[in-house]
Amino acid sequence: MSEDSLHEVSLRVIREGQAPSGAYVAAPSFPTYQFSWFRDSAFIAYAMQLSGDAQSARRFHEWAIGVILKEAPQAEAAIARSRAHTPLNGSFIRARYTADGSVAEDQWPNFQLDGLGSWLWSVRAYDAAHRGSLPGLREAVDIVARYLGQLWQTPCYDCWEERGDQVHISTLAAIYGGLAAGAALLGSSALASQATEVRAFVLQNGTVDGRLRKYLGSQLLDASLLWVATPFRLLEPEHPVMRRTVDQLVNSLTGPGGGLRRYLGDTYYGGGEWLLLTAHLGWYWSEVGELERARRAMAWVEGEADAQGHLAEQVLESVQFPDRISEWTARWGAVANPLLWSHASYQILRHALLPS
């Protein structure tokens, strides 16, 4: 499929996956993912904004603001409990909601802080282009920024809904990006100072052997560490710690097919090569001027589109644990395809490689 055709298919997949409420449903044909995650949707909205569909991005941000304002009592309770050093006991803003903004009533982990940081980064990008056009924005930003500013050292599930007893570096990066965005949106020096505190904490505690670690105390790597630089800017893309981290990510997590895996030991659908992560890596390469590597990443993603032009969550040809594929297929069905976040990441990378 040509680049132009995949571009159009991606836009159509995202538009068709956006509910009337404005929420982006992560994977409409995959039953387990029929929710809207703040994290996925932040990148999807940004992709749609870059692609010229500001109305789609606006509709999502309006939905997100509505959810946050509705959930304000949960945020305030979490802030109060954290200050009192007592357990949250279920009082927190969820990582995902149904398309109508309701809480998902299930046992799947739902306490994640990265999504809200990602949303602040994304809505700042939108506001920079369409200043003052989102009703309720300042109130919602204030709630989320105070929430993240209080809870940022609290263990929570990572972006893969795993290891809820840890403090994850990619989560801290999203929080940093969110606090910096909140500081800009609200003109708050206090939030800017908190962002600086998060950055100093990561540099002091979040590295090992001159590169970033997956979570505090760990020597593991995770492809989500790309977000520390691109796009959240806790570190600049050229920072020596970032360059060393990316070098090791590429060396250890690139699969035989050429795509990037999440982490070593990943057993989810066997632990394959992820399209969205490979596109994020290409985005990073574009930011450090390694355009040929960025183009190769984009070509790999394009080559994994199916006959309909759909981009899946991951590719299963060269998984780490082939015997685990059937386990997940029996539980949830075939791997999610199309995944809106994969299409969004492709759109972002494509935009990054357009001529200036």
Residues designated as active site: 158, 161, 313
Please say whether the beta carbons of 301 and 275 come within 8 A. Answer: yes
Tokens of 178: 């969110």
Question: Which amino acid is present at 148?
Answer: L
CA distance 140 to 178: 12
Dmax over CA atoms of the chain, in Å, equals 57
Residues in Cβ contact with 154 at an 8 Å cutoff, skipping those fewer than 6 apart: 82, 88, 113, 167
Between the two ends of the chain, the Cα-to-Cα distance in Å is 25
Compute the C-alpha angle 282/224/77, nearest 5°: 135
If you compute the radius of gyration of the chain from its CA atoms, what whole number of angstroms results? 19
